[in-house]
């Protein structure tokens, strides 16, 4: 186990921000984890997954910890489904690739989302009509304070749109060491998201396979979302706001082109990308940072940015959206 001092986190955060941490440590087992937690019991601990949903605004005064144990194993199986335990350090998209190769259905629409399996439940990652919670069975892990082990089953995780108990009450208090998924073995695909439907039509595919869906999702993402290896970003910077139906109807009267997707019986989700675009921000650049030209929900670092520049840009966008629509955007990324 290697503990590094004054470690530069540039390659560990997908915004590519040049920040450092007093200590950085990568562990691959619970034994190593226990050792590190004992050694750094008086330091601040920050748990880092793939670094693809975090905005560092300053250097970190403490120990950044990455739990990188890898491996996938079968826990159980019946004629319809399989239970797989996946260690936290597996890359999310590698796990999807494994599932698609083995014909396990349920997470294919989440293809190409960056990050690790251990981080995926924290914000209940979602895309193209699927969410992690749909296939989630349990998360195993330990409390940092006393190293007590615990399994959280789905009902105890408070999953909701881009959130869970791990993102709030248990933030930096509980480390997920593995996640158990229940995946389906028979053909069942979720193809109702607009852009997937359009792509299937274009390709003339009436009966797509599991790997067709994965490939389509990858294609859509690659066309719209910048590759963090080339242009620093964290995917969607804000969440799509949910408003009361009545409020949505009022907005539609002033802005007939507004799109809304039912979120619950009384609420509608409005694409934040659309709101931001209406405020004229799409494709705009200020210094080293900007709003992506193809997807206004993605803020980018053109190189050399400081986390605070991104934060200031985000604030300007929030102010403008509020002024025009009286809607308060909320960040999806974690700000440190
Ligand atoms: N839109 C605009 N302008 C834009 C961007 C989007 O008008 O600049 C409109 C589109 O025309 C479309 C609607 O907004 O009608 C939805 O756009 P899109 O399908 O691109 O999805 P999104 O709502 O912007 C969400 C997730 C993404 C996920 C996609 C696909 C959130 C915060 N974001 O984005 O997740 O990939 O749906 O399901 O819910 C992420 O969380 O990091 C992320 C990328």
- Using the 3D structure, point to which of 67, 95, 111 is the last residue of a domain: 67
What is the whole-number distance in angstroms between the Cα of residue 30 and the centre of ligand 1? 37
In a domain, 325, yes or no: yes
CATH of the domain at 286: 3.90.78.10
In terms of domains, do 42 and 129 share one?
A: no
Atom 40, ligand 1: which residue's CA is nearest? 236
In terms of domains, do 252 and 328 share one?
A: yes
Pocket test for ligand 1, best of 225, 271, 275, 325 (most atoms within 8 A of CB): 271
What is the whole-number distance in angstroms between the Cα of residue 236 and the centre of ligand 1? 8
CATH of the domain at 34: 3.30.43.10
In terms of domains, do 304 and 256 share one?
A: yes
List, chain by chain if needed, residues with CB within 6 Å of any ligand 1 atom: 127-128, 195, 235-236, 239-240, 259, 271, 273-274, 277, 282, 295-297, 332
In a domain, 189, yes or no: no
What is the whole-number distance in angstroms between the Cα of residue 270 and the centre of ligand 1? 10
In terms of domains, do 91 and 23 share one?
A: no
Q: Which atom of ligand 1 is nearest to the CA of 332?
A: 32
In a domain, 201, yes or no: no
CATH of the domain at 144: 3.30.465.10
Is 162 an active-site residue? yes
In terms of domains, do 25 and 114 share one?
A: no
pTM exceeding the 0.75 threshold for the entire prediction: yes
User: What is the reported pLDDT for 133?
Assistant: 98
User: What is the reported pLDDT for 59?
Assistant: 98
Number of domains in the chain: 3
Per residue of the chain (336 residues), what is the pLDDT tens digit?
889 999 999 999 999 999 999 999 999 999 999 999 999 999 999 999 999 999 999 999 999 999 999 999 999 999 999 999 999 999 999 999 999 999 999 999 999 999 999 999 999 999 999 999 999 999 999 999 999 999 999 999 999 999 999 999 999 899 999 999 999 999 889 998 999 999 999 999 989 999 999 999 999 999 999 999 999 999 999 999 999 999 999 999 999 999 999 999 999 999 999 999 999 999 999 999 999 999 999 999 999 999 999 999 999 999 999 999 999 999 999 999
In a domain, 227, yes or no: no
In a domain, 203, yes or no: no
Is 236 an active-site residue? yes
In a domain, 277, yes or no: yes
Cα angle 83, 84, 85; round to 5: 125
In terms of domains, do 42 and 102 share one?
A: no
In terms of domains, do 94 and 114 share one?
A: yes
- CA dist 189 and 193 (Å) reads 11
In terms of domains, do 52 and 81 share one?
A: no
Is 164 an active-site residue? no
In terms of domains, do 80 and 176 share one?
A: yes
- Using the 3D structure, point to which of 52, 67, 82 is the last residue of a domain: 67
Atom 5, ligand 1: which residue's CA is nearest? 273
In a domain, 94, yes or no: yes
What is the whole-number distance in angstroms between the Cα of residue 45 and the centre of ligand 1? 32
**Residues 14, 135, 162, 164: which is the catalytic one?**
162
In terms of domains, do 330 and 242 share one?
A: yes
- CA dist 1 and 40 (Å) reads 14
Pocket test for ligand 1, best of 262, 273, 278, 321 (most atoms within 8 A of CB): 273
What is the whole-number distance in angstroms between the Cα of residue 274 and the centre of ligand 1? 9
Domain of residue 57, residue span = 2-67
In terms of domains, do 254 and 294 share one?
A: yes
User: What is the reported pLDDT for 187?
Assistant: 85
In terms of domains, do 77 and 163 share one?
A: yes
- Using the 3D structure, point to which of 15, 50, 67 is the last residue of a domain: 67
In a domain, 118, yes or no: yes
């Amino acid at each position: 186990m290697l503990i590094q001092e004054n470690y530069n986190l540039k390659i560990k955060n997908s915004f590519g921000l040049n920040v450092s941490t007093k200590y950085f440590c990568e562990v691959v087992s619970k034994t190593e984890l226990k050792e590190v937690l004992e050694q750094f019991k008086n330091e601040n601990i920050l748990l880092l997954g793939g670094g693809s949903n975090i905005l560092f605004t300053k250097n970190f005064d403490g120990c950044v910890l990455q739990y990188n144990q890898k491996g996938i194993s079968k826990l159980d199986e019946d004629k319809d489904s399989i239970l797989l335990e996946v260690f936290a350090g597996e890359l999310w998209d590698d796990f999807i690739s494994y599932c698609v190769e083995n014909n396990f259905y349920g997470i294919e629409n989440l293809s190409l989302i960056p990050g690790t399996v251990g981080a995926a439940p924290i914000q209940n990652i979602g895309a193209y009509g699927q969410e992690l919670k749909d296939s989630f069975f349990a998360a195993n892990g330990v409390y940092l304070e006393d190293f007590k082990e615990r399994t959280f089953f789905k009902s105890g995780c408070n999953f909701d749109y881009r959130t869970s108990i791990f993102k709030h009450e248990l933030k930096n208090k509980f480390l997920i060491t593995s996640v158990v998924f229940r995946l389906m073995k028979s053909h069942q695909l979720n193809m109702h998201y607009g852009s997937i439907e359009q792509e299937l039509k274009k390709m003339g595919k009436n009966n797509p396979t599991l790997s067709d869906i994965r490939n389509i999702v990858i294609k859509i993402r690659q066309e719209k979302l910048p590759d963090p290896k080339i242009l620093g970003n964290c995917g969607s910077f804000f969440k799509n706001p949910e408003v009361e139906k009545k409020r949505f109807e009022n907005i539609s009267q002033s802005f007939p082109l507004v799109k809304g997707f039912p979120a619950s019986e009384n609420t509608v989700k409005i694409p934040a990308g659309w709101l931001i675009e209406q405020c004229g921000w799409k494709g705009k650049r200020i210094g080293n940072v900007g709003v992506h030209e193809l997807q206004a929900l993605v803020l980018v670092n053109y190189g050399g940015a400081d986390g605070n520049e991104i934060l200031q840009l985000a604030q300007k966008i929030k102010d403008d959206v509020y002024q025009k629509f009286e809607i308060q955007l909320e960040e999806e990324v974690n700000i440190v």
